[in-house]
Amino acid sequence: MLKLLVVAALCLGGLYLLGVFSPTPARPDLKPDGWWGRGPKKAKDDETIKPFKVNIPQKDLDDLDKRLANTRLGEDLEESTFEYGFQVGFMKQVIDHWRNKFDWRKQEAALNTFPQFTTNIEGIDVHFIRVKPPSSKGPTKPLLMVHGWPGSIWEFYKILPMLTDPANNGFPGNEGFEVICPSIPGYGFSEAPHHRGFNTREAGRMFVKLMARLGHDRFYMQGGDWGSAITTDIATMYPQHVIALHLNSAIAVAAQWKQIALSLMPSLFLEEGEHYPGFFGQFSILLRESGYMHLQATRPDTVAFSLNDSPVGLAAYILEKIAVWTHSDSLLTKDGDLTKHYELDEVLTNVMIYWVSGSIGSSMRFYRENLYDLTENYAWAKIPVEVPVGLVFFKQEIFNNPFFLVKDRYSNIVQHSFLPHGGHFAAMQVPHALAQDFFSFVEKINEAKTEKGEL
């Protein structure tokens, strides 16, 4: 036993030294510009900011109803549960609710309560929400907030009032932000790129241009899922534009010795309140839940035909992810406890944004563009993020990276929190908790600035 421990210690020591003395990869060259529109590149973007309202033609809604009415359903295995996916009985409930109770015009009006716009950047029209504090008359504190997959700007409909008007939404004493929520190109009401190669760094450059067009040279950022990757890339590439970064799903590319040490002796490296299923538990989750990622990173356009043609197929695909990524311990139920955490109207509104925009294919293609060739991704991921960072870890986040691994990437962590409730779609599931953590982070940033005489 002693020999085994000595060998393990030597191996870990060797891996540690390799990690310490491995040089940081050279910073890749930044692309100053891109072109994602149809046809030849234009000399200059049309920088006009145009008001936008969601107004889906009635004929499209009538077509949807016919497709729902003519859905062909299969048959469940006897005694099967959500381990196999959604059951036919539950999907019948979804179809009935969608056809007879769900009111798209009501949800459309709810979307349109937020000021929305489009502007052309690098050849494509980018859609975004822009909400200012109700009492703002002068300069505001700008916050770029970015969604992920299979989410949309609808993820933020509960948290936006908290961030823009905190005094009247449960957070007295906090100053409201001007919040800008863009739809990632290829998602929802943003035009899809028409050329290959559009990844998180390209999106990040476009969003920096968007913020500059709105008059913001420096801004706060918040993100989860792809939003976390995009905002992290912005902080890496353009730190001069970032005041601070807050994430609810952090990116980790840690040294190998750390990953091995954590898997062998997790109790030595985990903090109080931190949830970590262990190496084999984490591997099991990854194996069970990452099939969609492999599919979308290799042949996204093939499956897009069926999802773009069948509203029930699209709903099952998206709602399954929302259910599992909200609470992965619900596999033995009939519906993954989806309706325990959300109203059907709110999750169907997210599905509808994909359906009416026909964007499921281009949204899935984002995985191929980001994951097919990882060489450049890895080089960027090894560059430390030096802007002030706040991290919040929700217990039911499906792909939680332990703080011990994450802090390799973020070198200036001002705050990190472990919360006992909430999952991947925190802004929609537990908006108050996410907003509270964000405001706490901003308070720490302000305290630091005061100490330095910057406020």
CATH of the domain at 69: 3.40.50.1820
Q: Is 367 a catalytic residue?
A: yes
Residue 432 located in a structural domain: yes
- Residue 110 CA, distance from chain mean position: 22
pTM: 0.92
Q: Which two tokens stand for residue 102?
A: 């769900």
Answer whether 235's CB lies under 8 Å from 218's CB. no
CA distance 425 to 325: 7
Q: Can you give the pLDDT of all 455 residues of the chain as single tens digits? A: 444 444 444 444 444 444 444 555 566 778 889 999 998 888 888 999 999 999 999 999 999 999 999 999 999 888 888 889 999 999 999 999 999 999 999 999 999 999 999 999 999 999 999 999 997 666 789 999 999 999 999 999 999 999 999 999 999 999 999 999 999 999 999 999 999 999 999 999 999 999 999 999 999 999 999 999 999 999 999 999 999 999 998 877 766 678 788 877 888 888 888 888 877 787 788 888 889 999 999 999 999 999 999 999 999 999 999 999 998 777 778 788 999 999 999 999 999 999 999 999 999 999 999 998 778 888 888 899 999 999 999 999 988 788 988 888 999 999 999 999 999 999 999 999 999 999 999 999 988 776 776 66
CA distance 352 to 312: 11
Residue 201 located in a structural domain: yes
Residue 453 has a pLDDT of 64
Residue 107 located in a structural domain: yes
Residue 25 located in a structural domain: no
Q: Which of 357, 427, 349, 351 is nearest to 108 (CA)?
A: 349
CA distance 41 to 258: 46
Amino acid residing at 76:
D
Q: Is 354 a catalytic residue?
A: no
Q: Which two tokens stand for residue 382?
A: 């090894």
Residue 404 located in a structural domain: yes
Residue 206 located in a structural domain: yes
CA distance 147 to 401: 19
CA distance 333 to 346: 21
Residue 15 located in a structural domain: no
Q: Which of 197, 160, 185 is nearest to 359 (CA)?
A: 185
Q: Is 220 a catalytic residue?
A: no
Residue 21 has a pLDDT of 45
Question: Total domain count for the chain?
Answer: 1
Residue 20 has a pLDDT of 45
Catalytic one of 157, 220, 367, 410: 367
CA distance 117 to 262: 46
Q: Which two tokens stand for residue 292?
A: 């969609």
Residue 8 located in a structural domain: no
Catalytic one of 246, 341, 416, 424: 424
Residue-number span of the structural domain to which 285 is assigned: 50-451
Instruction: Tell me, letter by letter, the H, E, C secondary structure of 252-292.
Output: CCCCHHHHHHHHHCHHHHCCCCCCCCCHHHHHHHHHHHCHH
Residue 14 has a pLDDT of 47
Amino acid residing at 209:
K
Catalytic one of 127, 147, 187, 225: 225
Residue 23 has a pLDDT of 56
